[in-house]
Amino acid sequence: MSEAPPRASAPLAAVIVGGGFAGIGMAIRLKQAGIHDFLLLEREAGIGGTWRDNTYPNAACDVPSVLYSFSFEPGFPFPRFYARQPDILRYQRHCVSKHGIEPHLRLNCGVRTAHWDGTAACWRIHTLHGEVISARALITATGQLSVPRLPDIAGLASFTGPCLHSARWDPGVDLQGRRVAVIGTGASAAQLLPQAVSRAIRVTLFQRTPPYVLPRPDRPAPRWESWLYGHVPPLRWLSRGTVFAVQEFLGLSLYALPVLGAVVRQLCLAHLWLRVRDPALRRKLTPSYALGCKRILVDNGFYGAVTQPHCEVVTEAIASVGPDHVRTVDGGRHEADVLVLATGFASQTFNGTFEIAGRDGRTLSEAWREGAYAYRGVTVHGFPNLFMLYGPNTNLGHNSILYMTESQIGYVLGALRALRAAPGEALEVLPEAESQWNARLQQALGRTVWSTGGCGNWYQGPGGRITSNWSGSTFSYRGALRRFDAEHYARLAPR
């Protein structure tokens, strides 16, 4: 973890950018494959990615922890069936330390730019410290949801009290006894709302679109259960397999079985009816778009919170923010001491905050002007030896993203093995393979609820094209990435 590591003379085998789940998993798998000359660069002072950044009250994962954990690192004693943020971060630290990733890790090491050097057939990675690191392969693991999105609301900067984005929570801001305005009703808002309501004297929740909410069967997870999962593999497979099958089954409603969506929708509406008895409030909270078009939430106390007498759900659009209030278009003035922006992320910045220039100098942002795309979600024509984890069209609406990440990690390992067998060469996906893959993918995505469901969602890029999500089951994706298909890649010799 030293600040000023020695400069590598020969290019490293790989540089991974991003120390969240994907970067950590990739690093572990590299070591297990006997590849030790790599670095893991993390721009912040600690590992964890989204689970380091999202420290708002009650942040948790809505996929059970037995599945939301690496298949190769089971048995961690998560105290609850649905793990909370501090426990997920503890798990990530455990993975880093158990697998000896620290010597490869550079914290506070943001990347400014990376460009392909065709003469040496390697990436030149420029850090914010001014250092240049060379590597044959550049592996980005920067997440789809790492850049907070601030809403474009008139007067926002004039608010004089604390103004917090959910992904940049300040634990020093006490909500006790204060008037709190929360903007947004996505997964983050729904999770933080119960604690805000339990502390504040008044909470105003500004809702643009109501979410679908399913009950959450959470429970404490005794230590013996984790121990069994760690030591008796068939029990772990059974538990993981059951959760996986349920999630996959529900996922059919998003891309294959609209009739199942209609059934699950009724479940959500029944849950709403049971939890919210006031018909006027229930009407406000009833979605009018198809189930799954936006992320389906699991109820961690959201409905309990909105039904408290000191919580008001405001559905009029926000007109402006003043020093101590939010004004709505109907002229309503809603006083607030603290403003919480649970307004999501700039989901289209797939490679984080740095620019990547490929073989002919063209940058990824230029290539992606019409929206991000990739081959199998991992590689892009024009960018040799660039591999993305959690890249375009690899997000899900229904299952553990770590299953997808592990699929990509296996694929990238296959590519690195091919590179190791051919020193000096580089691999670049063929344009026809890439365009065929994307044509088929977009055709399938056009039939999913994210395209047809009648809502706006963060899965869409420019022109409404779905750039974030995979189009089908997680196992069909695993199947597509089960081996590295070198026949769809050109082998480039140094210039």
Least gap, CB of 458 to ligand N01 (angstroms): 5
Letters for 143-172 (x = contact with ligand N01 by CB under 6 A, - = none) are --x-----x-x------------x------
290-309 positions binding ligand N01, by CB under 6 A: 295
Nearer to ligand N01, 113 or 328 (CB): 328
Helices assigned H by DSSP within 318-457: 364-367, 401-420, 431-445, 449-452
Residues in region 430-489 near ligand N01 by CB under 6 A: 456, 458
> In which element (H, E) is residue 480 found?
helix 474-480
CB 113 within 8 A of CB 355: yes
Q: Which is nearer to ligand N01, 375 or 450 (CB)?
A: 450
Residues 338/180, Cβ–Cβ less than 8 Å? yes
Of 127 and 471, the one with the shorter C-beta distance to ligand N01 is 471
**Burial readout 34-58 (b: 16 or more C-beta within 10 A, e: otherwise):** ebeebbbbbbeeebbbbbbbbbbbb
Q: Output the smallest distance, CB 123 to ligand N01, in A.
A: 30
Among 23, 48, 184, 453, binds ligand N01 (CB under 6 A): 184
Long-range contacts of 28-32 (CB under 8 A, 24+ apart): 28/70, 28/72, 28/73, 28/95, 28/99, 28/101, 29/72, 29/409, 29/410, 29/413, 30/413, 30/416, 31/99, 31/100, 31/101, 31/104, 32/72, 32/99
Binds ligand N01 by CB under 6 A, chosen from 185, 393, 408, 448: 185
Q: How far is the CB of 144 from ligand N01 (least distance, A)?
A: 8
183 sits near ligand N01 (criterion: CB under 6 A): yes
- Residue 175 tokens read as 């909500």
| Of 146, 149, 148, 141, residue with least CA distance to 377 | 141
For position 215 contacting ligand N01 by CB under 6 A, the verdict is no
Q: Please compute, for residue 37, the number of CA atoms within 13 A of its CA located in the half-sphere on the CB side.
A: 15
Alpha-helical runs (H) found in 290-329: 302-306
Answer yes or no whether residue 247 interacts with ligand N01 by CB under 6 A. no
Nearer to ligand N01, 149 or 236 (CB): 149
Q: Is the CB of 118 or the CB of 371 nearer to ligand N01? A: 371
Taking residues 314 to 353 in sequence order and writing x for each that binds ligand N01 by CB under 6 A, - otherwise, the string is: ----x-----------------------xxxx--------
In the region spanning residues 110 to 149, those forming contacts with ligand N01, defined by CB under 6 A, are: 145
Residue numbers of the site for ligand N01 (CB under 6 A)?
60-62, 145, 151, 153, 166, 183-189, 191, 206, 208-209, 295, 318, 342-345, 456, 458
